[in-house]
Chains A and B, each alone.
Chain A
């Protein structure tokens, strides 16, 4: 029979030489299992006298715990090697493309309208709406544009067939009819903006038969043209993100406002490139004025009591200027290449707190 030392060193050698967790387990069973060599030696202690048993027992216990510790240590080592081997085998070429994500964009028009709403919301405006198919009265007459008025001819109106009474509806040529609808349905004070589709029978490089406008109307006590100026300067500077943007008010004419003003913003034109901001040139961006007393009267308001201002701007125009979109007609073409380039990420919500310029690609 081998001595304990010989058995012990044989087992320890075997542990050291084990190359797999399975081999190590076999060694453990051979040494410490129920019928393992060390276990059998422990069982043999029963036949010894007390003194011998004590000595041999002590020795055996030391050997047993030494072997256990070595097996455990070896296990850790072998597990780590096995894991590393697996990880090496599991290698993937991470330069392969990931699964394609959806690449959808929001249209610059809806984006721009949201920016406009965000700014005017800060100034206490509410969004109002009206129908695209309008009566002649709301689109023209109530706005102080009687039949045969030269201003009417400039509108290039689309007409629908006359009804039994000979009245023909029109596609609204501007968002201004909603001014009338708002004043008819509510009492002052009023602060509304009206983004929406508008139509004129004109189709060339700079005109589309359908386009978008945003109307604004403010009626209240003591609202004067200085407020119009302040409100629109505040808007232009916020929208274009230029704090010192020069804004110029120029006398003009709209039948539904008096006095009327065109609003220009400063810019620089250099070799076809346009930069919004203080410069040596001006760009016309919107029309405005104090609501004509005749329009107030048409809506049942007393012009001596209430006054206010109105304005209207082309959404496409301000979007083109802000985002450098060169061609009006591309807005309605739904060209995916254009949308990917000029569109906006859906989660990029314009807001005053997070900014109005848009980010992401």
Chain B
């Protein structure tokens, strides 16, 4: 909402400065976004007359002008503008003035031997437009020596404020003035809203033609005809104000409708009577297939849910949104029918959204107008038309029973304090509400309050409290710490919510950097990772790359890796903890933990610890993540299989019993290359929901019984079939060794010389920890024999000779 200082003061009698007002507006809920004060910038520029202009003796394109700025002496200026000539009036910048368009402070100078003490300016040089065709030419009656900005109406600062959706009343300057007056920043001036009778019957009648159940779409409309008008340029004060708020003056009649919309927040619609087909304007729902060319020169397809106003020739106004081109006002208009209506807010919003028209009228209609405005604004507007364009006004025609806006809300005497903690004297509460236009009657322990017709947003007593509180001032709110019920704060996260926090630290501790990537991705990638269901496709994505809800966090991590690789960071280890979507229901959202690594384990270095990343890095990441979640590594089984996006021979599912807890692997080469990744990429992913919360047994650990007897280790090297999984051998060894076994480590894998093709050698070391007595050699021998036997029986393994 834009307006100017003087425009505001048209409605507000005040001795407050603009600075004061700008300070208080945000505290009333009217956030000041921009203030443009051109006065200071243009202060040095004065109106001057060029008394004489002669050819510069040394330059073809320059003239030497003598300029009168109202002082005792004429000033000599060298000017290059083609239009600088004797007798013209223009804008002069004296020596010492800062000229913003050329970013220069003027000095006494000499141009090719002729003195030049100042400058005649173009609009661009003054930064009031881009026009640089010549120096500004003013009317002959422009007062010599006077301030140009005051003369041109450029000394009126423009203010732009953001209006929240509830404050439709402040979409008019008068509403803002009312708020300021209620806050003690002046007095709301009266405006003449008395009826204007008119002198003849309107040649145009109004008719509402909608089914009875739809009559609420237009509860009230008034209209009036004007004849013998003289349309032309609007008066300078009006044109200047419209220009200041960024509107282009068009013609007096059009400008009046625009002016009133900003002035009173009251959109109007004007028809050229001579262009109306017939003598009737009908308000009705459009017929499917009808089209209409609006004032923005675009043609719209209408449908049967859209309220339109039209004549015998069809619709030519989309109610509350935009008028039609066919019956619109032109410079030649002499007869006008002016419609002032109330339309249903929701209907206007729906139609406006469907047609994608964003007009100032729609903005106001869908937020709600003063429900009585078709009555009271009629006379005000008619007088303005007569004053500016002459002519005669007809009697008013009205239609509709009027909107139901009257209501009573009970406000208890203690409500303001109960809700805000702020003590506002009861008298002050009444005063504030009255100043805002509310009517009040006493009631037991409170008041019955009726909101004014322009405050459709007031819904209940909490809204009344807000009105009182904001005008009284939020600065008066007491500051009270929240009462605390615990001396020692309780944890804010439960054991489930604590898991991501711990996981992040554990994974970062393993050298994985945390990433946060988008929850959406491209269809192709969604499908590649098991998603792409139509129910998870965004209807209105910002781009096709971000059109599906992700089924996995891996693809966006891969994209991130590719971006880093392209920046020269090809060794990379990143993870993310975030949502993935198996469906659109709340219970189909999972919290995924995913990580990828690619390139080498670290930077090049001289110790020789650097190595290529492989699938066991991903496996270790997954195992660490699971151990943080309370799953012991020893309780996990690995099933050498996985989804299609992994290398079929280098991936695994981590299982606990029959439950799948996570999966890891080397990304399939075709997947890696789809993302543009040039090296091997490995990764894992698991869903927190799949990993059961470990049952809390309290903080105490189980009793630790340490054996006083020495542990012994024995190594075995087995030769077995290449296709036998190592886990099978370890399991066999472990169970054969019996209860004394405290550890099994596989420490060597060998294929090659001395091992038959299709076979491999696996070496394991077992650690036996006796609990009752030191192990004797025969006991150790017996266990070794059992291990060897079991390895042979279960895995076809033989001890390597």
Contacts and interface: CB of A to CB of B under 8 A. Distances in A.
Given A251-B470, A259-B469, A158 B540 contact: yes
B165 A290 contact: no
Interface string A209-247: 110000000100001111101110110000000000000
B463 A258 contact: yes
B517 interface: yes
A140 B29 CA distance: 23
B704 interface: no
A333 B463 contact: no
B505 interface: yes
Most central of A104, A122, A124, A332 by chain B CB within 10 Å: A104
Nearest to A135: B586
Interface in A103-121: 103-107, 109-110, 114, 117-118, 120-121
A103 B474 CA distance: 48
B538 interface: yes
A104 B513 contact: yes
Interface string B396-427: 00000000000000000000011111100000
A121 B493 CA distance: 9
Contact of A293 (B462, B490, B577): B462
A203 B420 CA distance: 38
Most central of A125, A229, A262 by chain B CB within 10 Å: A229
Interface stretch (B69-77, B267-275, B598-606): B598-606
B164 interface: yes
A149 B463 CA distance: 17
A191 B540 CA distance: 35
Interface in B451-487: 459-463, 465-466, 469-470, 474-475, 477-486
Interface in A121-151: 121-127, 129-133, 147-151
A7 B501 CA distance: 81
Given A110-B504, A259-B419, A343-B514, A249 B474 contact: yes
Contacts of A218: 482
A104 B589 contact: no
Interface in A310-334: 331-334
Contacts of A117: 492-493
B65 interface: no
A218 to B, nearest CB: 7
Given A123-B484, A250-B474, A331 B508 contact: no
A201 interface: yes
A290 B579 CA distance: 31
Contacts of B507: 104
Contact of A253 (B28, B164, B477, B509): B164
A225 B462 contact: no
Given A97-B606, A249-B474, A336 B501 contact: no
Interface in A252-267: 252-253, 255, 258-262
B525 to A, nearest CB: 15
Nearest to A284: B31
A224 B493 contact: no
A285 interface: no
A308 to B, nearest CB: 10
B537 A160 contact: yes
Most central of A106, A109, A209, A226 by chain B CB within 10 Å: A226
A166 interface: no
Contact of B516 (A104, A107, A127, A133): A107
Most central of A151, A225, A250, A292 by chain B CB within 10 Å: A225
B541 interface: yes
B474 A251 contact: yes
B477 A249 contact: yes
A106 B574 contact: no
Interface string B536-562: 111111110010010000000100100
How many chain B residues sit at the interface, stated as a range, is 35 or more
Given A103-B511, A229-B479, A224 B418 contact: yes
Contacts of B609: 99-100
Contacts of B574: 334, 336
A252 B25 CA distance: 11
Contacts of B567: 335-337
Interface stretch (B4-12, B346-354, B694-702): B346-354
A149 to B, nearest CB: 7
Contacts of A176: none
B509 A234 contact: no
Contact of B518 (A123, A260, A332): A332
Interface in B129-169: 164-167
B353 to A, nearest CB: 7
B661 interface: no
A105 B514 contact: yes
A2 interface: no
B516 A307 contact: no
A346 B584 contact: no
A63 interface: no
A347 B469 contact: no
Interface string B10-27: 000000000000000011
B535 A160 contact: yes
B206 to A, nearest CB: 26
Contacts of A118: 492
A280 to B, nearest CB: 12
A195 to B, nearest CB: 10
B191 interface: no
A159 B541 CA distance: 8
A212 B34 CA distance: 28
A360 interface: no
Contact of B513 (A123, A202, A343): A343
Contacts of A106: 504-505, 508, 514
22 contacts: A104-B508, A110-B514, A114-B501, A131-B589, A132-B581, A133-B585, A159-B540, A171-B519, A197-B519, A201-B540, A226-B477, A229-B480, A234-B481, A251-B469, A251-B474, A252-B164, A293-B462, A334-B560, A334-B564, A335-B564, A335-B567, A346-B509
- Across the A-B interface, give the 7 residue pairs with the lowest CB-CB distance, nearest first: A102-B511, A226-B421, A251-B29, A253-B164, A346-B508, A259-B466, A334-B560
Interface of A: 96-97, 99-100, 102-107, 109-110, 114, 117-118, 120-127, 129-133, 147-151, 153-154, 158-161, 163, 168-169, 171, 191, 193, 197, 199, 201-203, 209-210, 218, 223-227, 229-231, 233-234, 248-253, 255, 258-262, 290, 292-294, 307, 331-337, 339-340, 343, 346-347, 349
